[in-house]
Amino acid sequence: MKYLIVGLGNIGIDYQNTRHNIGFDILEQISKQSDVKFQSARYGDIAEIKHRGRKLILLKPSTYVNLSGKAIVYWLKKEKLSDDRLLVVSDDLALKFGKLRLRMKGGDAGHNGLKNINEMLGHQNYARLRFGISNEFTQGSQVDYVLGNWLEEEAEKLPEKIDIAKKIILSFASIGIERTMNLYNKK
């Protein structure tokens, strides 16, 4: 069995360690834990890991967050995967910092990356793991906030929250989404 795990983020040094790149950061930690490096490929960087007899294809799209759907559609077709083998990891303004929520399907909640993925797939029926970044910004400064760096107190707690996200992703691939949701969404 294999899965496509997509972390949303923007390419380039200007976006490293920003709230919007949490998907990239989580996948980066999974690859480091497995001692696997990302390789440049079509529409993104790819790393493959094995976990409990499953193959996880980690994708960091090079299409920028708002156009992530193109990369996802390409890799689903290339790997001959159905949409139930897809998990998208993104930031979420509606959740408090570090809150993690796994869902089987859903709307875009104003997230342009998820909106593009929904449009490209033609539906919203794919798993997503949302990482809360909070909404502590003043009116009109949402873009600066999302593309901004973590606050010092957030940065201190980030490794612990990323570790939980890694566990959720590996659980999704090994025991399925429903059991994983039961284990982690209640916390």
DSSP, residue by residue, 101-149: EEESS---TT-HHHHHHHHHHTS--SEEEEEE------TT-HHHHHTSB
User: Of 168, 183, 72, which is closest to residue 129 (Cα–Cα)?
Assistant: 168
User: Of 172, 152, 137, which is closest to residue 2 (Cα–Cα)?
Assistant: 172
| Residue 55 backbone class (left: φ over 0; alpha: ψ -120 to 50; beta: rest) | beta
User: Of 31, 123, 37, 112, which is closest to residue 86 (Cα–Cα)?
Assistant: 123
Q: How far apart are the C-alpha atoms of 123 and 120, rounded to whole Å?
A: 8
Residues taking part in catalysis: 20
